[in-house]
Amino acid sequence: MTGGASVGPGSLKRAGKFLGIVAIFTIAGPLTIAAMVSLLVIALGAPLLQLLLAVADLDALRTVASFAAWLLAAIAILASFLPSVAAGTIFAWSAIYADLNAIWMAWLAAFAAVAGFVVFGMFIRPSESSALILPSVQSFAQGISLFSMLAVLGFLAASFCWWLARPLHRVKHTP
């Protein structure tokens, strides 16, 4: 048989690297997003919470705020899971099979995943009992502002994931 795709050690090695890159983006991406969101909330919300606690003298509010911060981190992980898988798949395909392993390709993959996430939020309305987490985008202007905010987070997460996956996508392949 000639011209067919062969399954050999080289193709299995490429498939393993592909799956490794996708796994790195799938695990490290949501954790990075959750860490950044938590840091933003702590940096912006801590002074306001301290002022509220000083004025109202509500010690029970500390427990609620702590629980809310953990809940926000968990929701950030869940919400960024599908875009991270999509960005990892796009980057892994381009890095392993198209030899486009530059950091700008990871950024483009993240921007494409964020754009898909926002566009799906414009057209798909999951029921309240659904496990699918999508933003509720009401207008084009709201979609653009949501994309720009999420693109910054995706840019930082994709940079970190690209750096973590570097040993997998830097090795040259032999045909």
Q: Cβ distance 21 to 88 under 8 Å?
A: yes
What pTM was estimated for this model as a whole? 0.79
Please give the chain's pLDDT, 175 residues, in tens.
444 455 666 788 888 989 999 999 999 999 999 999 888 888 887 777 777 777 776 666 777 777 888 888 898 898 899 999 999 999 999 988 888 888 999 999 999 999 998 888 888 777 776 666 777 888 888 889 989 988 999 999 999 999 999 888 775 655 5
Distance CA(137)–CA(118), nearest Å, equals: 7
